[in-house]
Structure 1
């Protein structure tokens, strides 16, 4: 009996009584196979759609469930994944991947005839799953109060999810079979991969059965496969990863032949919802390949990271699906216990342009959607900028008809933009549409190792790689195109610009400046004499290494990508030359295509902008030292910090960032840098507070204070630490306590001076000083300054600023 069968009656009742529920069940519990099939067979729901994050798992679950029904996929059990759809009018349970579910919701927000949505392996938290769930929750709330949602995983962050969704949770306890754990410490973490083959051989010697080995990617799989060439003849090594063809994947999943053992080297594609018969050994490297988006370059980089404890539990669960098993974990138990509980959700580190466009098409802003985690403002800004470059959003951030077409195209939005535009250009550029299909096949097959895209395409055209050939066949069929004998590669730069407008680049020193403002490293084997490069593939360290591209000139793309170009007047002060630069420029994003002396007269506002740019760079250090202005700045910042209920939030950086609002108008008549440095910013700064706040500032943090002698003495303020009042000792006789600043919130340090204005004492407690260490000061000062007044009881004496003879 599968563990999930024990909670099945409770789960059915919960699903009928609640719009959303959580199911936490361990690997092998039957939640991905037995449960949806039983719900269908019992007729609890008319039509069930189950989302599986990975294509391999989706296809295998659909095949398994169809076999259980003695049917082919496409009858009662359906499948909908990229490049493969098998459904019919008889389909009651449909297995779909993430992008497919989002498309279903966009095309039919009511999800007609679907009454149960299952999100399997929800702990993976892909951005596509988060998107689909957010849309499903809106549909449920506004259109389909009879739609039920079930989230399930072995390792849910259940307390957080239960609180967020305000829903019940059902837990299925226990594994199908027990799993032992073994930890293999590594002496040199940088050489962890070298340790894997020995761990595998050790595990095979100790244990019976077949082994599943988790590695980050294909490169590591290939290295380990080579190192296992000396295994006994009855041990067969298979590989399993997402980019393989179906036959190779099925060979890896199939049971080992009688009398043999199999070792399956896999990525985390086998981490969830996948059963490989005969596996009772798991060797876990503890590593995974993670896509991390670089906001600066706009490039998604693949990095190798340690997995979380929840992912490790998922991997170990593969060993206990059929019989008792064991997991060998690379690294010590202490290292394992220091890992994060859960992997970070993709939405926090990914390119969110697809999500943003989906939300626009859905008719919502990101802030309207029920997202468990929200992207940063920087992510939103970067995605908005890219979508405008791709013509999916207009200058007002409204969805365009082209943006809607791109979403419905069923491809990466960059490639969708290129293909749609290429079709439109075909009449005036014969062959560009076919070339676009070949380029998409090249980019999606990932078989290119040649930096020059033109050479790469000609190479694949002449001797195609099997994966390229498969992708090309798909795209030609889908786009209703035929193979060609001659590729019109003279259009290649335009196609790359259509897909990657942010990666158009101009030579700068030994590298390139991208249209998005980022820098890129030069590949010394290519393009070293070319001014402009359209980059198709980047990555490496900080996403700044160029892997493939094609030379172009701005004129060959300007007619068809005019929205990327803009005419601007640049006015700035050149510090090295000591003069204004006033130029009319043609810009391609951050790239200056051409520049010439401006035909327009330099007006006051432009000059003020140039001075502001200099102020943004240098801050208040730009101005010569001005005690009154500098002290006003410090007092205003202190008032904001100490009394936020009375004064607006204000810091030095705030003032620098918002200088346009308070400083700009005061700079319009300044014509030279020397004038600017001498500028007294007191009045400009004072305008940041209204009259009542200025008055309160002078009361609470006065610039000067009157001491008992009648002198008006200046207070020196600082942002960190007490304010300081430097005054001759004779002038504060009779004073027993220091003045209160900011209602006592800011301490005042009194620096008591000699008649020659040399420091004698620092104190914040005058009364205690008069009664104590004053005696020592008095003895010394009487001999040095006999003409001055040094009373025995300063606490009750009259303060003076004069010598004794004139008192």
Structure 2
């Protein structure tokens, strides 16, 4: 009996009475197979759609469930994944991948006929799953109050999710079978891969059954496979990863031949929702290949990193699906316990341009969607800039018809843009559409290739790699094209520019400047002489290493990518020569394509902008020392920090980055000497309105009137208390330390002698009068006998005179 059967009635009652619920059940509990099949068979829902994050798992679950019905996939159990759709009018349970569910929602926001949505393995938290769930929740709230949503995982961050979605949790306790844990400490972390073959052999010697070995990627899989060539004849080694063809994947998943043992080397494609018969040993490297997005370069790089504890639990669970098992973990138990509980969600570490475009198509802003984690402002800014370069949104950030078409294409939006453009140009540029198919096949196959894309494509055209051939056949079939007799590579730079407009680059020193403003470095095998290159593949350290590209001339792109080119007049002050540079320029993003002296006279607006650019470069150090204005800036910064509900954000970095507040005051400044002497106080003050200026003077005054009648200056600092230096006799009669910013900023009182030398520092004047003052009084009476040193200073009259003149 499967564990999920024990809680089935409770779960059924919960999802019948709640719009949403969470199911937390261990690997092998039956949540991905027995549960949806039973819900379908018992007719509790008319049409169920279950999302699986991985194509391999989706296909195998659909085949397994169909076999339980004695049917083929496409009858009562259907399947929708990229390039494969098997559904019919008889389908009542569909297994779909994440992108497919998003397309279903975009095409039919009501999800007509569907009354249960299941998100399996939700802990993986891909952007596509987060997107589909956010849309489904809006559908449920606005259009379909009869739609039920069920989130499922073995390792959900249950309490957080339950609180965020305001829904109940149902938990299934215990595994189907127990799993023993063996930890293998590492002598050298940097050489962890070298230890894997020996651990596999150790596990096979110590345990019965077949083994599943988790490795980060294909490179590590192939290396370990070679190291296992000396295994006993009864041990067969298989590989399993996402880019394999179906036949190879099915061979890896199939039960071992009678009398044989299997060793399956896999990526985390086998981490969830997949059962391989006979597996009772898991060897876990504790590593995975994860996408790491570089905001500066706009490049997503696959890096090897340690998995979280929840992922490790998922992997170990593969060993206990059929019988008791054992997991061998690379590293000590102490190292394992120091890992993060959960992997960081993709939405915080990835390019969100597709999500942003999906939201615009949906008709909502990211802020309006129910997202468990919200992307940063920098992610949104970067994605918005890219979508404009891809013509998916206009200058007003509105979705364009081309943007909608790119989404409906069902591919990466960069590649969709390239294909749509290439198809339109096929009439005037024969062969460009076929070339686009070859280029996509090359990029998606991820095979090793020469740095020059021309050479790489011609090499694959002549002698194709099996993975490239598989990808090419898929795209030729999908685009209804025939294999090209000759590749029209003269259009290659234009195609790369369609897909990667932000990676058009101009030579700069030993590297290149990208159109998005980032820098790029050349790999050792790359050419060094082309002035301009269109980069199709880059990554490496900081995402800035060029791996593959093609040379181009900017004029070749202007007809088809005119929106990337802008004409402008640049005016800057050259500090070396002490003169203004006034140039007419053509820009390709951040790249200057051409520049010549401007034919127009220098006007005040251009000169003002030059001064603003200079201020943005140097900040307030540009001006001569201005103590009063520096104190004003400090007071305004403190006000915005301590009382944000009453004052706008003001600080040096913000004012430097957004310098337009200075513009109205700089139009008559003609040289650098004038600029340095400029009194910026009035401009600074006007960053607050009249009411805020009045409130500033009240809450954080520049001066404080003390009981003697003197108006004493307060010195403010960004870190630490404000300071008031005043002679002690002038604050007699003051019973407590004055409050600043409604008591949110402490005031440090420096009490001085008649000769203005420090006597005492205190933030609690009342306590000082009652305690330490007695010692000060004794000493001061002897040193300054003509001055007034009362026994009760808190009630005495303040003075700024000597005793004889009182």
TM over 0.5: yes
Task: Name the stretch that deviates more: 624-633 or 529-538.
Answer: 624-633
CA distance in 1 between partners of 2:362 and 2:644 (Å): 41
Partner of 2:349: 349
Deviation at residue 515 of structure 1 after TM alignment: 0.6
Q: Which residue of 1 aligns with 2:159?
A: 159
- 8 Å CA contact 1:738–1:750 kept in 2: the answer is no
Q: Is the contact made by 1:285 and 1:329 (CA closer than 8 Å) also made in structure 2?
A: yes
Q: What is the aligned partner in structure 2 of residue 83 from structure 1?
A: 83
Determine the C-alpha separation between the residues in 1 that align with 2:746 and 2:704: 15
The aligned runs of 1:453-602 (5 Å cut-off) are 453-602=453-602
Q: What is aligned with 1:785?
A: none
Equivalents in 1 of 2:181, 2:647: separation in Å? 60
Q: Using the alignment, how far apart are the partners of 1:157 and 1:798 within structure 2?
A: 64
The separation in 1 between residues aligned to 2:147 and 2:87, in whole angstroms, is 21
Render the CA deviation track for 1:153-177: whole Å, top value 9, x for unaligned: 2122222222233333322222221
Q: CA deviation at 1:89?
A: 2.5
Superposed displacement of residue 242, structure 1: 0.7
Q: Distance in 2 between matches of 1:11 and 1:769?
A: 70
- Measure how far apart 1:40 and its partner are: 2.2
**Is contact 1:58-1:95 (8 Å) kept?**
yes
2:659 matched to which residue of 1?
Answer: 659
CA contact (8 A) 2:290 2:305 kept: yes
Structure-2 residue corresponding to 1:680: 679
Deviation digits for residues 552-608 of structure 1, max 9, x if unmatched?
A: 010001111001111122222223333222222111111111111223332223222
Tell me the TM-score normalized by structure 1.
0.93
TM-superposed CA distance for 1:633, in Å, is: 2.5
- Shift of the 774–357 alpha-carbon distance from structure 1 to 2, 3 Å rule, reads same
C-alpha offsets along residues 427-451 of structure 1, whole Å, 9 cap, x if unaligned? 1111111111111111111224210
Question: Contact 2:712 / 2:724 at 8 angstroms: preserved in 1?
Answer: yes
Report matched runs for 1:255-294 at 5 Å. Answer: 255-294=255-294
SS at match of 2:247: helix
C-alpha spacing 1:248/1:780, structure 2 compared with 1 (3 Å): same
Contact 1:445–1:467 (8 Å) recurs in 2: yes
Contact kept in structure 2, 1:215 and 1:287, CA below 8 Å: yes
Distance 1:791 1:108 in 2: 87
Tell me, yes or no, if the aligned pair for 1:709 and 1:801 is still in contact at 8 Å: no
Where do residues 387-426 of structure 1 align in structure 2 (5 Å cutoff)?
A: 387-426=387-426
Task: Provide the C-alpha distance between the structure 1 equivalents of 2:709 and 2:107, rounded to a whole number of angstroms.
Answer: 82
Match of 1:373 in 2: 373
Judge which range, 246-255 or 744-753, deviates more: 744-753
- Whole-angstrom distance in 1 between the partners of 2:339 and 2:134: 29
Aligned to 1:104: 104
Alignment of 1:761 with 2:759, yes or no, is: yes
Q: Counterparts of 1:131-280 in structure 2 under 5 Å?
A: 131-280=131-280
Using a 3 Å threshold, how does the CA distance of structure 1 residues 605 and 737 change in structure 2: closer, same or farther?
farther
Contact kept? 1:708, 1:733, Cα under 8 Å: yes
SS of the residue 1:417 aligns to: helix
Deviation of the 1:458 alpha carbon: 0.6
Q: 2:750·2:758 contact (CA, 8 Å) conserved in 1?
A: no
* Partner SS for 1:628: helix
**Alignment CA distance shift 1:212-1:579 (3 Å):** same
Asked whether the equivalents of residues 722 and 749 of structure 1 are also in contact (C-alpha less than 8 Å), the reply is no
Q: How does 1:710-749 map to 2 (within 5 A)?
A: 713-726=712-725, 732=730, 740=738, 742=740, 745-749=745-749
Paired position in structure 2 for 1:41: 41
Residues 463-472 or 9-18, more deviating: 9-18
CA distance in 2, matches of 1:409, 1:797: 84
CA RMSD in angstroms comes to: 2.7
Task: Tell me the secondary structure at the aligned position of residue 258 of structure 2.
Answer: coil
Q: How big is the shift at 1:21? A: 2.4
SS at match of 1:558: coil
1:645 and 1:276, CA in 2 relative to 1: closer, same or farther beyond 3 A? closer
Alignment deviations for residues 82-122 of structure 1 (CA, whole Å, 9 cap, x no partner): 12222222222222111112222222222233232222111
- In the TM superposition, residue 398 of structure 1 has moved relative to its aligned partner by 1.5
Could you tell me whether the CA contact under 8 Å between 2:573 and 2:581 is conserved in 1?
A: yes
State the Cα distance separating 1:528 from its structure 2 match: 0.8
Partner Cα separation in structure 2 for residue 18 and residue 7 of structure 1: 16
How far has the Cα of 1:217 moved from its partner?
Answer: 0.9
Deviation at 1:735, TM superposition (A): 6.8
2:56 is aligned with 1:59: no
Give the corresponding residue for 1:610: 610
Inter-partner Cα distance in structure 2 for 1:695 and 1:15? 58
Summarize deviations over 1:250-289 as a string: whole Å, max 9, x none: 1111111122211111111111111111110111111111
1:212–1:283 Cα contact (<8 Å) kept: yes
Which moves more between the two structures, 82-91 or 545-554?
Answer: 82-91
* TM-score, normalised with respect to structure 2: 0.93
- TM superposition shift of 1:737: 6.5
1:646 to 1:801, Cα distance in 2 relative to 1, 3 A: farther
CA deviation profile, 1:4-48 (whole Å, cap 9, x unmatched): 222223333333333322222211111212222222222223322
Shift in alpha-carbon separation, 1:603–1:70, aligned structure 2, 3 A: same
- Contact 1:301 1:539 (8 Å CA) reproduced: yes
Contact kept? 1:281, 1:325, Cα under 8 Å: yes
Number of matched residues?
A: 796
- Give the 3 Å change call, closer, same or farther, for CA 605–31 of structure 1 in structure 2: same
8 Å contact 1:740–1:748 — kept in the other structure? no
Structure 1 pair 773–314 and aligned structure 2 pair: CA distance change class (3 A)? same
Contact kept, 8 Å, 1:77 with 1:87, in 2: the verdict is: yes
- Counterpart-to-counterpart distance in 2, 1:56 and 1:327: 23
SS for the counterpart of 2:7 is helix
Segments of 5+ residues of structure 2 without an aligned counterpart are none
Instruction: Give the match's secondary structure for 1:719.
Output: coil
State the distance in 1 between where 2:38 and 2:122 align: 20
Shift, 1:698, TM fit: 4.3
Distance 1:353 1:701 in 2: 44
Q: 1:773 aligns with which of 776, 789, 799?
A: 776
Measure the CA separation in 1 of the matches of 2:492 and 2:690. Answer: 64
Residue pairs, 1:7-26, within 5 angstroms: 7-26=7-26
Cα 1:613/1:40, change in 2 over 3 Å:
same
Q: Which secondary structure does the structure 2 equivalent of 1:516 belong to?
A: coil
Deviations 1:676-734 (A, max 9, x none): 111112222233344455455445544445678776554433333444455677x7496
For 2:647 and 2:364, how far apart are their aligned partners in 1?
37
1:763–1:769 CA contact under 8 A, matched in 2: no
Q: Residues of 2 paired with 1:320 and 1:214: CA distance?
A: 15
8 Å CA contact retained: 2:80, 2:97: yes
| Residues 590 and 486 of structure 1: CA distance in aligned 2, closer, same or farther (over 3 Å) | same
Counterparts of 2:746 and 2:30, CA distance in 1: 65
- 8 Å Cα contact 2:788/2:803 also seen in 1: no
- Residues of 1 paired with 2:748 and 2:418: CA distance? 67
* Displacement after TM superposition at 1:226 (Å): 2.0
